[in-house]
């Protein structure tokens, strides 16, 4: 595919042939996008397309010294940006909303090309960025305007709470959602008055660069969002060492290292990490809806989604009819690298990810699990395709029992009562997302409160919480710290500052009053205030 500079459209390089066979970025576009990367090393690294294995782009690699430079430039830009009125910052996000929707075809092509996902799953990223931009653009004052709180002496002590930007926010974004994870966390940071130093994942950099370019077109000052590129253990570590707050999305193992490094510097960090997410199908569930929801929740983006479901627990009373529906829908899925909406699932991101999936399935099969459907690579479709796979009989000692697969593989289990289902859903160290299918919403919400996960979807797999950008999203236990989205997602980027203005009555003995009498008077006052105040 050739992206023609300024044309606003993406066209096949050779329309007479399969459009996925030969795609290439216009070199001028590559030079313009990669020119934003702060790099003085002279080194370069190539990225490749999962669908075909062909090169996508060659990108300049940054050094720790480049991260220091990028942070200094961001810090200088942030001082001016923090003085820009909140309404003008919000207006930038609303312009981005329109640009993302207007340019979605180009964005979708890039997401598919770099990540290998199907177009319908790529569109989730377009929609999520647009919704996030609109939400924070419309709610800026609700989250960031100074607020009043109760003072020590009602009417005499005025308390104002200001939201002070932290300064420079470091963002280390993953490959699995290269557009929305590159942009969405940073939008809240910008609105709050911060600058950003960002390292996109080495496997999907061009999509992130394109998104930052759209932000510039929406009115973002050029130096406000600095881009660096290179190995996570080098460039990512330097980001943690130099910025004022870190937002990381990735593996639990790396997240622990980020948290340790941030703690040593006494800076904050939000971490969305791994998951082994459960789904509960209760005996009163709408089984057609549950089966359809399971297919989407287990196999969206080929299972390479932090909140995708890898464990399904089904009530004994409905196990067989659910499995029949689920397997039928799974086997009907179309695997394809087409750049249109005809595919139900794309491919895995890399050979390493494919190897993990193959190992998990083969290990389970060798140790006695049953492959109900799927269980094979599909090189006839493309080098990194693997069939959507349903396993039964998975038990402890198998790699896929408790380890995150991060691929199109799900294990299905029976349960006899709901208490058992909740206990099994809470097994393991993760707590990111869960799903409950039931016709009784109140009952589902009661069970949800017993599951140790940051998000729980009732009669949906992940989309209800993922798309509800006014609600917080994140993990418990080994699935992370902090939250994105909602008030929590923007308040992580500010320091609350309390300002007290005292009138008339001083907080000390007055008019010759002794310290003892002052203490007795204040005691009486506190008792009266307790009686008078009703929350």
Range of the domain at 68: 35-273
Q: Which residues are catalytic?
A: 272, 306
In order of 65, 81, 248, the CA distances from 223 in angstroms are 17, 10, 21
Q: What is the pLDDT of residue 21?
A: 47
CATH number at 438 reads: 3.40.309.10
CATH number at 180 reads: 3.40.605.10
Whole-structure pTM value: 0.91
Q: Same domain for 184 and 289? A: no
Q: What is the pLDDT of residue 12?
A: 35
Cβ atoms within 10 A of the Cβ of 337, count?
A: 23
Q: Which of 474, 489, 524 delimits the end of a domain? A: 474
Q: Flag whether 484 is in a domain.
A: no
Maximum Cα–Cα distance across the chain: 96
Q: Are 171 and 227 in contact (CB under 8 A)?
A: no
Q: Flag whether 487 is in a domain.
A: no
Q: Same domain for 114 and 96? A: yes
Q: Same domain for 255 and 326? A: no
Q: Same domain for 261 and 288? A: no
Q: Flag whether 325 is in a domain.
A: yes
Q: Same domain for 470 and 381? A: yes
Residues pairing with 268 in the sheet? 245
- List strand residue ranges (DSSP E) for 374-463, in order: 389-392, 409-415, 433-437, 455-458
Q: Same domain for 256 and 289? A: no
Q: What is the pLDDT of residue 26?
A: 77
Q: Same domain for 107 and 87? A: yes
Q: Same domain for 329 and 444? A: yes
Q: Which of 251, 273, 295 delimits the end of a domain? A: 273
Angstrom distance (rounded) from CA 59 to CA 177: 19
Sign of the CA dihedral running 453, 458, 460, 465: negative
Sign of the CA dihedral running 352, 10, 103, 344: negative
In order of 133, 228, 238, 242, 294, the CA distances from 198 in angstroms are 18, 6, 11, 12, 34
Q: Flag whether 502 is in a domain.
A: no
Q: What is the pLDDT of residue 29?
A: 83
In order of 279, 322, 413, 420, the CA distances from 315 in angstroms are 11, 9, 9, 10
Q: Flag whether 305 is in a domain.
A: yes
Angstrom distance (rounded) from CA 466 to CA 125: 11
Q: Same domain for 290 and 344? A: yes
Residues pairing with 271 in the sheet? 248, 481
Number of domains in the chain: 2
Angstrom distance (rounded) from CA 334 to CA 102: 28
Q: Are 31 and 5 in contact (CB under 8 A)?
A: no
Q: What is the pLDDT of residue 14?
A: 37
Cβ atoms within 10 A of the Cβ of 230, count?
A: 24
- Return the DSSP state at 83: T
Nearest Cα to Cα of residue 177 among 195, 209, 210, 201: 201
Structure tokens that stand for 451 in this block: 């599951």
Q: Flag whether 534 is in a domain.
A: no
Q: Same domain for 315 and 187? A: no
Q: Same domain for 264 and 285? A: no
Q: Flag whether 482 is in a domain.
A: no
Burial of 426 (0-12, 13-18, 19+ CB in 10 A): middle
Q: Which of 474, 500, 525 delimits the end of a domain? A: 474
Q: Same domain for 339 and 466? A: yes
List the alpha helices (DSSP H) in 342-468. 351-366, 399-402, 418-425, 441-448, 463-467
Q: What is the pLDDT of residue 235?
A: 96
pLDDT in single tens digits along all 535 residues of the chain: 333 222 222 333 333 435 444 566 777 888 889 999 999 999 999 999 999 998 888 999 999 999 999 999 999 999 999 999 999 999 999 999 999 999 999 999 999 999 999 999 999 999 999 999 999 999 999 999 999 998 887 788 899 999 999 999 999 999 999 999 999 999 999 999 999 999 999 999 999 999 999 999 999 998 999 999 999 999 999 999 999 999 999 999 999 999 999 999 999 999 999 999 999 999 999 999 999 999 999 999 999 999 999 999 999 999 999 999 999 999 999 999 999 999 999 999 999 999 999 999 999 999 999 999 999 999 999 999 999 999 999 999 999 999 999 999 999 999 999 999 999 999 999 999 999 999 999 999 999 999 999 999 999 999 999 999 999 999 999 999 999 999 999 999 999 999 999 988 778 887 788 999 889 888 988 888 788 766 5
Q: Flag whether 66 is in a domain.
A: yes
Q: What is the pLDDT of residue 22?
A: 53
Question: What's the CA dihedral at 343, 344, 350, 351 to 10 degrees?
Answer: -100
For 93, phi then psi, to 5°, come to -65, -35
């Amino acid at each position: 595919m050739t992206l023609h500079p300024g044309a606003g459209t993406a066209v096949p390089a050779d329309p007479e042939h399969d459009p996925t066979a030969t795609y290439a970025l216009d070199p001028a576009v590559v030079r313009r996008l990669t020119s934003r990367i702060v790099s003085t090393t002279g080194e370069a690294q190539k990225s490749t397309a999962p669908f075909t294995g062909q090169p996508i782009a060659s990108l300049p690699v940054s050094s720790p010294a480049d991260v220091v430079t990028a942070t200094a430039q961001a810090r200088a830009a942030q001082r001016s940006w923090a003085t820009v009125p909140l309404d003008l910052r919000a207006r930038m996000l609303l312009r981005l909303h329109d640009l993302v929707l207007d340019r979605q075809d180009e964005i979708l092509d890039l997401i598919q090309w770099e990540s290998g996902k199907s177009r319908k799953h790529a569109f989730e990223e377009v929609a999520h960025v647009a919704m996030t931009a609109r939400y924070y653009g419309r709610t800026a004052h609700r989250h960031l305007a100074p607020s009043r709180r109760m003072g020590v002496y009602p009417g005499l002590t005025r308390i104002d709470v200001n939201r002070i930007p932290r300064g420079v926010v470091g963002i280390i974004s993953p490959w699995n959602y290269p557009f929305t994870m590159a942009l969405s966390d940073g939008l809240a940071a910008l609105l709050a008055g911060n600058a950003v130093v960002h390292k996109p994942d080495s496997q999907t950099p061009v999509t992130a660069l394109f998104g930052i370019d759209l932000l510039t077109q929406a009115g973002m000052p050029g130096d406000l969002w600095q881009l660096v590129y290179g190995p996570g253990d080098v460039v990512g570590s330097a980001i943690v060492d130099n910025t004022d707050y870190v937002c990381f999305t990735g593996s639990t193992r790396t997240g622990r290292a980020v948290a340790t490094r941030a703690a040593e510097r006494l800076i904050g960090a939000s971490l969305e990490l791994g998951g082994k997410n459960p789904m509960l199908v209760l005996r009163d569930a709408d089984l057609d809806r549950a089966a359809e929801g399971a297919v989407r929740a287990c196999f969206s983006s080929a299972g390479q989604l932090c909140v995708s479901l890898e464990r399904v627990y089904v009530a004994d009373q409905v196990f067989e009819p659910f499995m029949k529906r689920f397997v039928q829908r799974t086997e009907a899925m179309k695997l394809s690298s087409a750049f249109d909406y005809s595919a139900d699932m794309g491919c895995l991101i890399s050979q390493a990810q494919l190897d993990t999936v193959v190992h998990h399935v083969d290990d389970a099969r060798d140790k006695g699990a049953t492959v109900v459907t799927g269980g094979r690579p599909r090189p006839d479709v493309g080098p990194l395709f693997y069939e959507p796979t349903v396993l039964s009989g998975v038990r402890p000692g198998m790699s896929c029992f408790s380890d995150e697969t991060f691929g199109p593989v799900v294990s299905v289990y029976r349960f006899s009562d709901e208490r058992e289902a909740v206990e099994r859903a809470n097994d393991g160290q993760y707590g990111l997302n869960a799903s409950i299918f039931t016709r009784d919403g109140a009952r589902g919400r009661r069970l949800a409160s017993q599951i140790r996960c940051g998000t729980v979807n009732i009669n949906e797999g992940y989309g209800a919480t993922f798309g509800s950008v006014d609600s917080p999203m994140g993990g418990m236990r080994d699935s992370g710290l902090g939250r994105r989205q909602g008030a929590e997602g923007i308040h992580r980027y500010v320091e609350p500052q309390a300002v007290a203005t005292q009138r008339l009555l001083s907080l000390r003995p007055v008019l010759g009053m002794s310290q003892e009498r002052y203490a007795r008077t204040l005691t009486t006052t506190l008792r009266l205030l307790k009686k008078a105040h009703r929350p």
